[in-house]
Structure 1
Amino acid sequence: MSVKARDSYHHGDLKTALIVASEEIIRAEGVEGFTLRKAARSAGVSPGAPSHHFSGTKGLLTAVAIRVFKHLGAELNVLPSSGVPAQDLRTQALGYVKFAARNPGLFRLICRVDLIDFKDPDLMQASFEAMTSYGHAAAAYFGHEPPELSKRVFRPHMASATATAHGLAHMVIEGRPALFLDTPDPVATFIETMLPSILMATWPD
């Protein structure tokens, strides 16, 4: 049982303990290594506790995904703004890819529409808030109004901007830089030396 999960449980917050324990399992083993039984064991509770408190695997993984989106938002929404739309969009995209590189298992989780409930109101709120600065940067670059949670309409510019960073993030966590970089740490080399140029070519000043 992890220290974080144990501390949360001892303070009476069993749901948080299970969420934290699940996050730690996914960090270490990926979402493929996650099971409700492992989460219960890590949190030091009965095997039936996760299903009782979260109505099964999808409910618990949705709660973990909400927490992951909050982690993502905490990083992206504090990145510096230069006032130059292209530069701000590149900064946001770089932050997005770096987050994925540091948290591959958790990043994969928030992309799995089959494992989490994307219609959950709390998840929708958390995912929108996580991308607030990204959305504002993209809107400024393309000359549009920033997205609103209450107006869930298709915005081609936002889809394009998100897809670019999303694709680069998956390229990184799948180890693709190793195909063309013969360095001890191809991912770090790619992020430090090549990614800024790719983003500059995608969204020039």
Structure 2
Amino acid sequence: MSSPERDKYHHGDLKTALIKAAENIIREEGVEGFTLRKAAKFAGVSPGAPSHHFNGTKGLLTAVAVRVFKRLGAELNALPLSGRAAQDLRTQAFGYVTFAANNPGLFRLICRVDLIDFKDPEFIQASFQALTQYAHAAAAYFGQEPPDLHKRAFRPHMASAMATAHGLAHMVIEGRPALLLETPDPASTFIETLLPAVLLATWPD
């Protein structure tokens, strides 16, 4: 590594470099292909750097998951609001499934309870904020109060809304549309042509 690179990392960029390296590996190879050694090599640092800065694999993957949730939140929160609860919920679910289809490896990571520290404060905040607009749309549709980060409680309507989008997302990234559609890109075709009808049947106006 060149001297300027070392200086850059000494000034606080090493953690960011490792997070980006881990994200790139997972994007290309899936979480199954991720190792701390690969992340260190990709970032151009010593093999022990990831463990030193993140206390091991779970720490680094949690940091990546925080970054992924922030990106998911940015995409979902940028979706237009129609003022109609059913339409807004369908829009959020469509965005959720689309994000998963575009980022299958990273989406699988944020679903892996065994690989992420789900009690990490930054992770809790990022995951909650990512789904804020989704949660408000679901609450409005079912006539319920929206979730509160500081009053964690099981909400059946939210569980139902999340299970629907989550199940559809996994169906897409696992290649199930190929069982329904004989097209060059079954996943994209499913999202573009069939998903809106599925969501309309689930949450009609």
Q: How much has 1:10 moved relative to structure 2?
A: 7.9
CA distance in 1, matches of 2:64, 2:180: 34
Q: How does 1:141-180 map to 2 (within 5 A)?
A: 141-180=141-180
| Equivalent position of 2:36 in the other structure | 36
Gaps in structure 2 of 5+ consecutive residues: none
| Equivalent position of 1:106 in the other structure | 106
| Partner SS for 2:149 | coil
| Equivalent position of 2:85 in the other structure | 85
| Equivalent position of 1:129 in the other structure | 129
| Partner SS for 1:13 | helix
Q: How does 1:3-42 map to 2 (within 5 A)?
A: 9=9, 12-42=12-42
CA distance in 1, matches of 2:9, 2:101: 30
CA distance in 2, matches of 1:158, 1:9: 42
Q: How much has 1:12 moved relative to structure 2?
A: 3.8
Measured on the aligned residues, the alpha-carbon RMSD in Å equals 1.7
| Equivalent position of 2:194 in the other structure | 194
- Contact 1:9/1:43 (8 A) holds in 2: no
Q: How much has 1:133 moved relative to structure 2?
A: 0.3
User: Displaced runs of 4+ in structure 1, greater than 2 A?
Assistant: 8-12
CA distance in 1, matches of 2:9, 2:202: 47
Q: How does 1:59-74 map to 2 (within 5 A)?
A: 59-74=59-74
CA distance in 1, matches of 2:69, 2:182: 33
Gaps in structure 1 of 5+ consecutive residues: none
CA distance in 1, matches of 2:183, 2:14: 44
Superposed CA offset, 1:106-165 (max 9, x none): 000000000001011110000000000000000000001111100110000000000000
Q: How much has 1:9 moved relative to structure 2?
A: 4.0
CA distance in 2, matches of 1:166, 1:37: 31
Letter of the 1:36 partner, please give it. Answer: L
Q: How many residues align?
A: 202
* TM-score between the two structures when normalised by the length of structure 1: 0.95
CA distance in 2, matches of 1:30, 1:70: 19
